[in-house]
């Protein structure tokens, strides 16, 4: 092959050395030290010249030979790295816990984590609010002006969009829920379904702190 011709005197031996080097570098599970390849090569092989030749053979190809410290490895050409990343969209049903949490936030917003837990009767696992925020349906609104200043949660426009609501006031009220058979008619007279608050911030809320968006959970949990 033309690629091997540069080794004037012993082209066959050098070509063989190059093949072996190539195979060793390919099959190795970690970058390979030049000296580690010597036992496989012909006596007196010029390791530097060989690796240099091999690197030039792969220059501009889809795979290139790169140096990592004193070691060498084949790597996908940098401009083709996009091939190694792939975006994939899965549809998954929302868990019951997430669905219930979302429902409470929708009706009772702005609500803190503790308030959600009070309605649910169980604590919320860390992942649940994450999922809802990742889905883009729930956002942190502000902080309640009570001791501990807990974060308040509310729904987003994407929430309205996904559930086909024009406004939060479209959420069915007590009588609608009873009419649809979702609430039994035996609920006590004191039972109320709140009217969700759709505005920016209530009188009882402060804006979020500047660093709130970093890690919502840790802040929130420290207030529990």
Partner 1 sequence: MAETTDLWSQDLPERAEPDAVLHVDVGGYEGPLDLLLEMARKQKVDLTKISVLALAEQYLAFIETVRKQRIEIAADYLVMAAWLAYLKSRLMVPQHADDDEPSGEEMAALLQFRLARLEAMRDAASRLMNRSLLGRDIFKRGMPEPISITRHALWEADLYQLLRAYAAQRERGIPAEYSVHQRSVWALQDAREILERLIGQSFEWISLDTYLAQYLAKPDERATALASSFSASLELVRLGQVELRQNAAFAPLMMRRRQGDVQ
**Residues at the interface with a second copy (CB under 8 A):** 1-2, 18-24, 26-27, 40, 60-63, 74, 76-77, 80, 83-84
d(CA 46, CA 207): 68
What is the CB neighbour count within 10 angstroms for residue 70?
Answer: 10
Residue from 37, 51, 54, 131 in contact with partner 1 (CB under 8 A): 131
Q: Kindly provide the b/e burial profile for residues 155-184, where b requires at least 16 CB atoms within 10 angstroms of the residue's own CB.
A: bbeebbeeeeeeebeebeeeeeebeeeebe
By three-state DSSP, how is residue 196 classified? coil
Structure tokens at 37: 């390849």
Restricting to residues 134-153, name those near partner 1 by CB under 8 A. 134-135, 137
**Window 41-70: residues binding partner 1 (CB under 8 A):** none
Between strands 111-112 and 151-155, the pairing is antiparallel
CB count within 10 Å of CB 48 equals 9
Residues 6-35 that bind partner 1 (CB under 8 A): 23, 26-31
Name the binder of 166 from a second copy, partner 1, none, CB < 5-8 A by kind.
none
Select the binding partner of residue 183 from partner 1, a second copy, none (C-beta < 5 to 8 A, by kind).
partner 1
* Residue 25 Cβ vs a second copy, minimum distance, rounded to whole Å: 8
Residues near partner 1 (CB under 8 A) are 23, 26-31, 73-76, 78, 81-94, 96-100, 102-104, 106-107, 119-123, 131, 134-135, 137, 161-165, 171-173, 177, 180-184, 187-188, 190-191, 193
């Amino acid at each position: 092959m033309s690629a091997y011709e540069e080794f004037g005197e012993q082209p066959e031996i050098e070509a063989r050395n190059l093949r072996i080097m190539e195979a060793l570098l390919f099959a190795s599970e970690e970058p390979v030290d030049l000296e580690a390849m010597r036992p496989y090569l012909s006596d007196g092989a010029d390791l530097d010249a060989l690796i240099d030749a091999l690197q030039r053979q792969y220059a501009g190809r889809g795979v290139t030979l790169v140096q990592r410290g004193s070691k060498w490895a084949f790597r996908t050409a940098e401009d083709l790295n996009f091939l190694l990343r792939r975006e994939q969209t899965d549809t998954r049903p929302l868990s019951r816990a997430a669905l219930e949490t979302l429902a409470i936030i929708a009706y009772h917003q702005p609500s803190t984590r503790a308030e959600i837990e009070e309605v649910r009767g169980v604590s919320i696992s860390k992942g649940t609010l994450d999922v809802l925020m990742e889905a883009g349906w729930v956002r942190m609104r502000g902080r309640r002006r009570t001791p501990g200043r807990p974060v308040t949660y509310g729904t987003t426009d994407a929430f309205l969009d996904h559930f086909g609501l024009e406004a939060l006031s479209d959420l069915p009220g007590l009588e609608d829920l009873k009419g649809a058979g979702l609430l039994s008619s035996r609920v006590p007279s004191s039972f109320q379904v709140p009217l969700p608050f759709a505005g920016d911030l209530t009188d009882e809320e402060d804006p979020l702190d500047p660093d709130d968006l970093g890690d919502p959970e840790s802040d929130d949990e420290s207030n529990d």
